[in-house]
Chains A and B, each alone.
Chain A
Amino acid sequence: MLLDLIRCSGVATVVLFPGAALSWLVDRRSTWPQALAIGGTTAMAAAIVSGYYLLLFHISFAAFVVFEYALLAAAAVILRRRDRTSEFRGRTHSLLGLVILFVFISRSIPLFFGEVPQGLDACFHALIAQKILLSRAIPFDWTPFEAVRLNYPIGTHLLIAETTRWTGVPVHVVFKTLFPLVASLTSVAMYVVALRFSGSQKAAFFSCVAYSFIALWGSIDYYRWGGFPNAVGMLLVLAAVELVFARRAFQLGMLLAAVIMAHHHSALCALVLLLGYALFSRLISIDAAMYRTVIAGFPIAALLALGPVINYLKSSGEIGRASVLKFYEPLISAWEALRQLGIPLVALAAFGTALILAKAPRRSTVFLLFWITAFFSIFVFFEYVYRFGAYFFQREFYTAFTPSRFCTNLSYPLSILAGVGLARFVVFFHGAKRTIATAAVLCLSLAWAYFPLRAQCQPVPMDRDSFDWLAANAEANSFVVAESPWAPYFTWKETQYTPLPASEARNGDYMIFKRTTLNGDVKALRDFSERSGRPVYIVYPVELESRPDLEVFHGEKTRILKLR
């Protein structure tokens, strides 16, 4: 596992490094965190956008990497004599480096407990990436598992597929090994954006600490449910916020295009945040320059992401069969949201908000408050207003647009404000006491992070032997019944349940028939086998009563029965 982690992180670094180095060379005032966060993230965005079109036209992804390094070499020759000036440097950056190292290590530890990543979402992300790897083309459907269109953005999956192609590490392992790198990059980006808002290195440093070790949803929690595209999408949004304030429209357009190609929900968040704030600031007449940058950035993004956008438009007719507008999940009460975000984070953010409210409002603080109000209001609208409206009119309790994700993404602005609160607490002390206070904050944050990280240190129950036997021995048209959502990925056969995201047409009659009628009912499965002429295999826990007449394989945890 350690070797896989090094290989995958190494390939990702090879792809991201030219972006960070270019940013360092071009912007004479940039510091290493700015170069890494903005340059590295822009390289990731460029890899997603270019990767999509290279895959579409069947050109090797290596072309993009060669282009990156050629550009870097040219920039190094042209800009080698420029002097550097930077107003931010010193001990904070050394401490920041230490925090980033802690982030990488802490996010890596859970990867060593079990072969497959945690979370149901990881299963369908692995399916998409494996489809790209096998076909060397953009997948437009979910065959051989389901005969429905693929609506989910594939931006992050193509990076996973390419990493597998370069390293030979299996897709499901690559998927989990990229979490620490994205988490580390997001922590640096958090520092950079918080520095832009607060203008204080201390506050920015503590915002980074708050995001890295105090925030649960939207940070430590990503690995638990397999939210890799969400983590990448929000990293891109975070870098886009910095670029809006730096007035770089083209770079902003590239990042927004990558968000569209990587994650629908993050794209929706970017639209609400950036376009929403641009219109709001225009209405209140506070920020005309930002309005122009955002208005220029979105058409550039639409142009760069034209291919996927056309695909999304084509599949918009399927929205009724997907779970976008009819999403069944338990209601998240206000206190549950508070608990999941992390009570210390929200308390510190409330303190930080009180501190900024005590001062005269600035553009950056208005933006921050808009960010929180917009995400929280949308969460409240879909979690309560829409849900109770649906109950009132249809007597069903569903919601839309997965509102918990808006709450998840709230952790980013809350961390910025929590950093302001923590910095005020630390500057209350002087001399050696301040150093002790800083160390205490770091230690307490790490102690808080220990518990959710420890909960992730457990293997996902699965019998790999049975799946490998089915992949090698079962007929190509077999139908597999298994409890594990990893069955389609490892057997590469149609199963009674394919883990599909909410954006897919997963509520069709055939899929409901499979999930209900064919879910373990032997008589129904026999009928299905006879009618379709397809062999049916049932992956069956060893603890249950045996059927020696049907058994074809006996694994450690499961046996396989074949209905002939």
Chain B
Amino acid sequence: MPHDVLLVDDHKIMRDGIKAILGRADDFRVVGEAETGTDAVQFVKKYKPDIVLMDIGLPGLNGVETTVEILRHHADCRVVVLSMYDDEHSVVSAIRSGARAFILKRASDTDLVDALRIVARGGSYLSPQVSDRLLSRIQKGDLESKPAGAALEHLAPRELQVLRLVADGKTSKEIAVILDLREHTVRSYRKTMMKKLGVNNVAGLTQLALSTGLTQLPRGAAAE
């Protein structure tokens, strides 16, 4: 019986190509496509696919945040992250979020089908280019093992999501819609974050998010 796969990528041309490649493999069946992380989470909640093939650089909820959300609703789902980024921060973030595989987007021989088969059997996979680089960094002893921004270390993944969205200017109501939470739950996260981070207002949260690189000022904001 083929494994049900959800494709998540904001580029239709990529989804079409991947769908065609998987169409040549009898052991996978593409059961859905999503352009955004929010749509992907909704699909997973409803249809519970076996595997989600996830672009890491999605607009809105990124691939890492979406992976956390998906696994919160469907813990048995196996998420495979596809990425143009090959830096260790992207790899570590993806694996920390619960992804079972990290595949580098390449033009030539893709390891996509091999990776999906390994993950479908319960295994894990890193593209050779990525694993070689990580191995080298580990051997040199210079692999950064902590996330950026020591101040954010004590925040839970959900709190980091809320913090980024607050810093992006979203209201609690908007955040509730994006993360599929109740508004009072979002307010509760905000209070908890402020307490943990020792700040008293949204301006403080935004400043912290900017200083740690969690978000950046939109165009023109610096002049306002």
The answer to whether A and B belong to the same complex is: no
Question: Which B residues are closer than 8 A to A by beta carbons?
Answer: none
Question: Which A residues are closer than 8 A to B by beta carbons?
Answer: none
